Amino acid sequence: MKTPFRIWPFLLCCIASGSIGAKFAPRAQAQGAPLPVQRNLVYGEAGGQKLLLDVYGANRARTRPAVILVHGGSWSSGSKADLGFVASALARQGYVGFSVNYRLLRDGRNRFPAQLDDVQRAVRWVRAHAREFGVDPQRIGALGASAGGHLAALLGTTDTRDNSDRALARYSSRVQCVVDLYGPTDFTAALDLANRTRMRADQSPGAGIVQGFLGPLPAAAANYRLASPVTHINRKTAPFLIFHGGRDTLVPLNQSQRLHRALRAAGVESKLVVFPAAGHGYSEPELLAQTFIEVQRFFARHLAASIGASL
């Protein structure tokens, strides 16, 4: 469940050239101006590990909406640098981008909910430091790809208060909107005995990744429910924009379809964009261009609708 790193330079070039998305964003930063980037800021500590993030486009003089970027990598690899191009692109369009690291699965350690705890802590930290970075704490979105899409989806469907630093616990971790690129959303099918039997016999990479992340069944059954965004949906859930490839063999299309149906059934805004011939981490230029146009429109509608006077 890795992020397609090679797609982001293409998108950034499109934005820099003004070819896509410009009219849908808040006031963009001048292309010739240097983009302020603050790297390796500590937003917390867990298990003896400092949790780091990078900030793109912060400006205390101008209040802006923010986007939390969550990298993929099967919850076991990747880093905040992987989505640096996206954070930079969004910052050029008038958002403050926060690309976050979280604890990675290592030899059975840092299983769920470690990753969720960390990204929720990151959102709370951003809200606590909103004035410092020129962020409107009521306009924060999330974008993630693959495993990062799963975590971003949980940011839009949950708001757990008892897993954070005491100083941050009073801040909400719920974001105002979510872009989920082909992330898994429903692990509960594995709880059915027949499906569990099949899962034990399933030697596919995806099955092994999920069991390593959530733990063995039946002992870890609670994790399979808690880690499924579809089980947390209610009328407080944030609006979603979901992308998936019809030929994704790592995260099946039905994962995004289930999420989309559950959101719509609860009366929550959801748009599912399916590229029928695309696989996991699609990289075709025309699909990437369409993806970013949709993302720009979505964030502008939910984060930047009333931003004109403040930028």
Residues with catalytic roles: 146, 248, 280
- Number of other CB atoms surrounding residue 215 within 10 Å: 17
Task: Tell me the C-alpha distance between 28 and 31, whole Å.
Answer: 8
Q: What is the DSSP letter of 15?
A: H
Q: What is the DSSP letter of 175?
A: -
Burial class of residue 8 (count of CB atoms within 10 Å of its CB; 0-12, 13-18, 19+)? buried
Query: Rg of the chain over CA atoms, in angstroms?
Result: 18
Q: Is the dihedral of CA 2, 176, 112, 212 positive or negative?
A: negative
The residue with tokens 């302020």 is: 36
Q: What is the DSSP letter of 95?
A: P
Q: Which two tokens stand for residue 15?
A: 């934005």
Starting at the edge strand that comes first in sequence, how are the strands of the sheet with 49-56 ordered?
A: 37-46, 49-56, 96-100, 64-70, 135-145, 177-181, 240-245, 270-275
237, 157 Cβ separation under 8 angstroms:
yes
Q: Which two tokens stand for residue 219?
A: 């002992």
